[in-house]
Structure 1
Amino acid sequence: MSRKRVVVTGMGVFSPGGAGKELFWNVLKCGQSFISPIKRFDTSGYRTRIAATIDENMVPAVNSKTDPNLWDLTASIALIAVKEALNDAGWEEPPREAALVLGSAVAGIVSLDHQFENFYTRGGRFVMPYTVPRIMLNAPAALISIELGIHGPMYMLGTACSSSSQAIGLGHRLIATGLARQCIVGGTECPVSPGHLQAWDRLRALSKDNETPWRACRPFSRNRSGLVLGEGAAGLLLEERDAALSRGARVYGEILGYASNSDAREILQPSTQSQKDCIESALQDAGRAGVCPDYISAHGTATVDGDRKETEAIKACFGQGAAGIAVSGTKSMTGHTLGASGAISLVATLLAMRDGILPPTANLEERDPECDLDYVANVSRPGNISLALVNSFGFGGCNAVLVVGP
């Protein structure tokens, strides 16, 4: 049976700048940064005091059919992003039988951290009664289903930093195989809490450039000093191509292929070979085996080993052709949104394709001889994209690559 073609017809983003994919895109293509000092809690005594955080006062209250206290910030911003995506796709009423697949690494961690603090400092009776629904991994998907009346199958994937790319890949598969006609996909993450920030700091993975937060995240730069946590959500509507065109939908791009694999090696150290294999499998799935893409949205977290190994994987895949591929590390501006990062990167890639503008890798200050590709350094530039990859490589050796075209 021939595989159905899958297109993206709507997109939405909630970033630290607020709601709206165009607001988000304007920041990226101008090479600006969402990273700033953390104001959510007192960071005195922390070695890292910066992140790309969402101001909770900017998030409108959920006009919920249930008690609004049920929902963590992670769920609220996911709902806003998905609503924008559906409106963007021209659906006046949500497609009730659509599938729903989201990704998140640590959904509800802010609520969990807060309630642990209540328990250990004040006692059990001060733990919020709604803690369990607020910290459930599937809470963001549940809120969207309840608020919008989505009755199709619901999945919430948690595979660390590849979570939302896996969600998009699964959504693609559901439509391609005829199990769904529409699928709401995306990712959401709000990981900046006192305990979680400290945990990342103890891992020695975070940048400590607190005095200059806008330049703290420097993917592929020789003087890179670690990642910066970020928050945000992205929602996309996937549709079967013929059905979308028959209703006159605008198409941002086509999901041509997807692949996922596991390192089966170490929990924290990435594998060049597994990343190479995943990229090649995704291109084969897309029917583009051996073809060099025009553009790669890199995982690019600004860790020393991670950036080097991703560069090695790209060069191993494409040989001399790798030098002609534009590669962007947009986490330099968004921070690392963990499980939401793949979906956010896909939105940026499709907007780059729409506008013919390649977003930059900000803060690329010193060339690293081991990271020697074209990283669209510091400023965006014109560029036509006919084939693009979105790389997501997560802790635990969870890898996912999406292949997209116009």
Structure 2
Amino acid sequence: MKRRVVVTGTGVVSPLGNDIETLWDNIKKGKSGIKRLESDEFKDINTKIAGYIDDFDSEKYLEAKEIKRYDLFTQYGYAAAMQALEQSKVNLDKVDKDRVGIYIGSGAGGLQTLLDNHKTMLEKGAKRVSPFLIPMAINNMVSGLVAIKTGFRGPSFAVVSACATSNHAIGEAYFNIAHGYSDAILAGGAEATITPLYFAGFSKMRAMSTKNDTPERASRPFDLDRDGFIMSEGAGVLFLEEYEHAKKRGATILGEIIGYGSTTDAYHITAPDYQGAAKAMKLAIERAEIQPEDVDYINAHGTSTPAGDISETKAIKEAFGESAYDLKVSSTKSMAGHLFGAAGAVEAIITLKSMAESIFPPTINLENPDPECDLDYVENKAVEGNINLALSNGFGFGGHNAVIAFKKG
């Protein structure tokens, strides 16, 4: 018999706040976390705006001498994991650490570390490269550091599937617990990719917005005037736990994961195919043993790219049929920007808060709706209403699709 899996802790580092309540308060207010980049390093790049973080205090989580040994993405991920454990109130001295795992992924890993050391090698020679280069740069170091600090000895690895990374991490953790292999798993993603190199690459793809004069209005999913996504950074981590395990220790249940769908487009390295996304939603619904019309809300992938938003709208219509017009859909990337490998986890946390407080978060900057995007996107302002069942979508370059189905706690 499949075991129930609940969420008992969450943690976040984001452009809208470095704790859950600050993030959620800004989401409810429809506040944008996008700002202009002032560094001259970006002067020759078309996009000069991002959801960067300028108020993260790493010394709240790590000793000063440790900080220089970990890339920023690792620091973000570790901070989010510690927040999730703190909220869960799990007793590390009493839990069976052989049955607690860590699935925290990243799309790019320690990108800044790699770039810094490459520059050092070119300018000063190979002997000046840091001995910490490899452990700082590899994608799995958040999971590794969290394991070292907590003593968790269950399954531990880093999912890498671009923008679907943390949805895959959460979904695979859900399966692991549901099938009885673990009692609890920290799952999510972390990212710190705001660098001139990544900006140059995405700029050449014409994938990012160039609305540099109006940063707060640049991310506008489903709007006819959208022109690309906004790069952001941060981390999101959820503490997933088997229901009886959580109940036995008196944990507060924030919500329940009841389904997970994962598919691949097998179509194109960057262009989306709506059928793969639709199938992932259908699988999440089927495995949750619910009907499409039972779903109240979808936290959309909604990146604000011309092709992506149309494709996701088509996918929702394919998965839900006529009931697609009865549910509410919103993209919180309109406020937080796109956190790549951390996006799904941050959006899962927002979805859980939405359900708990009966508030549909808005899609801001939706002023001129695209005729091809004709669903209810909760335009510009949050709306009150009961949310019993919700989906959170995550789709990544390479055609990777991952959808999580949540039930109100």
Question: Normalising by the residue count of structure 1, what TM-score does the alignment of the two structures yield?
Answer: 0.96
Counterpart CA distance in 1 for 2:182 and 2:217 is 43
Greater CA drift, 83-92 or 335-344: 83-92
Q: In the TM superposition, what is the alpha-carbon distance from 1:289 to its structure 2 partner?
A: 4.1
Counterpart CA distance in 1 for 2:51 and 2:64 is 30
Check conservation: 1:107, 1:189, Cα contact below 8 A: yes
Counterpart CA distance in 1 for 2:141 and 2:383 is 39
Greater CA drift, 241-250 or 122-131: 122-131
**Aligned residue in 2 for 1:201:** 203
Which residue identity lines up with residue 4 of structure 1 in the other structure? R
In the superposition, relative to structure 1, how do residues 65 and 176 fare at CA in structure 2: closer, same or farther (>3 Å)?
A: farther
How big is each residue's C-alpha offset from its partner over 1:221-271, in whole Å with a ceiling of 9 and x where there is no partner?
000010000111111111111221122111111100001011111111111
Check conservation: 1:292, 1:318, Cα contact below 8 A: no
Which residue identity lines up with residue 302 of structure 1 in the other structure? S
Counterpart CA distance in 2 for 1:66 and 1:138 is 21
Where do residues 276-355 of structure 1 align in structure 2 (5 Å cutoff)? 276-355=278-357
Q: In the TM superposition, what is the alpha-carbon distance from 1:193 to its structure 2 partner?
A: 1.0
Check conservation: 2:18, 2:56, Cα contact below 8 A: no
* CA root-mean-square deviation: 1.7
Q: How many residue pairs end up in the alignment?
A: 405
Q: In the TM superposition, what is the alpha-carbon distance from 1:56 to its structure 2 partner?
A: 6.8
Q: In the TM superposition, what is the alpha-carbon distance from 1:93 to its structure 2 partner?
A: 2.6
Counterpart CA distance in 1 for 2:243 and 2:40 is 46
Q: In the TM superposition, what is the alpha-carbon distance from 1:58 to its structure 2 partner?
A: 3.3
Greater CA drift, 259-268 or 114-123: 114-123
Counterpart CA distance in 2 for 1:229 and 1:340 is 11
Counterpart CA distance in 2 for 1:12 and 1:287 is 29
Displacement over 4 Å in runs of 4+ = 64-67
Q: Does 1:77 align with 2:79?
A: no
How big is each residue's C-alpha offset from its partner over 1:265-308, in whole Å with a ceiling of 9 and x where there is no partner?
11111111111111111111111144441000000001111000
Counterpart CA distance in 2 for 1:179 and 1:314 is 33
Q: In the TM superposition, what is the alpha-carbon distance from 1:120 to its structure 2 partner?
A: 2.9
Question: 1:42 aligns to what SS in structure 2?
Answer: helix
Q: Does 1:58 align with 2:57?
A: yes
**Aligned residue in 2 for 1:270:** 272
Q: In the TM superposition, what is the alpha-carbon distance from 1:63 to its structure 2 partner?
A: 2.9
**Aligned residue in 1 for 2:250:** 248
Question: 2:404 aligns to what SS in structure 1?
Answer: strand
Greater CA drift, 90-99 or 278-287: 90-99
How big is each residue's C-alpha offset from its partner over 1:16-69, in whole Å with a ceiling of 9 and x where there is no partner?
244211111111111001110125663222211111012276332653598432
Question: 1:274 aligns to what SS in structure 2?
Answer: helix
**Aligned residue in 1 for 2:27:** 28
Which residue identity lines up with residue 162 of structure 1 in the other structure? A
Q: Does 1:190 align with 2:189?
A: no
Q: In the TM superposition, what is the alpha-carbon distance from 1:99 to its structure 2 partner?
A: 0.9
Check conservation: 1:113, 1:194, Cα contact below 8 A: no
Greater CA drift, 245-254 or 282-291: 282-291
Check conservation: 1:292, 1:322, Cα contact below 8 A: no
153, 175, 178: which one pairs with 1:176?
A: 178
**Aligned residue in 1 for 2:101:** 99
**Aligned residue in 1 for 2:403:** 401
Where do residues 133-152 of structure 1 align in structure 2 (5 Å cutoff)? 133-152=135-154
**Aligned residue in 2 for 1:214:** 216
Check conservation: 2:50, 2:337, Cα contact below 8 A: yes
Check conservation: 1:65, 1:146, Cα contact below 8 A: no
**Aligned residue in 2 for 1:362:** 364
Counterpart CA distance in 2 for 1:28 and 1:341 is 14
**Aligned residue in 2 for 1:68:** 67
**Aligned residue in 2 for 1:382:** 384
Structure 2: gaps (5+ residues): none
Counterpart CA distance in 2 for 1:302 and 1:145 is 36
Which residue identity lines up with residue 135 of structure 2 in the other structure? P
Where do residues 145-164 of structure 1 align in structure 2 (5 Å cutoff)? 145-164=147-166
Greater CA drift, 53-62 or 286-295: 53-62
Which residue identity lines up with residue 139 of structure 1 in the other structure? M
Structure 1: gaps (5+ residues): none
Counterpart CA distance in 2 for 1:39 and 1:107 is 24
Counterpart CA distance in 2 for 1:237 and 1:202 is 38
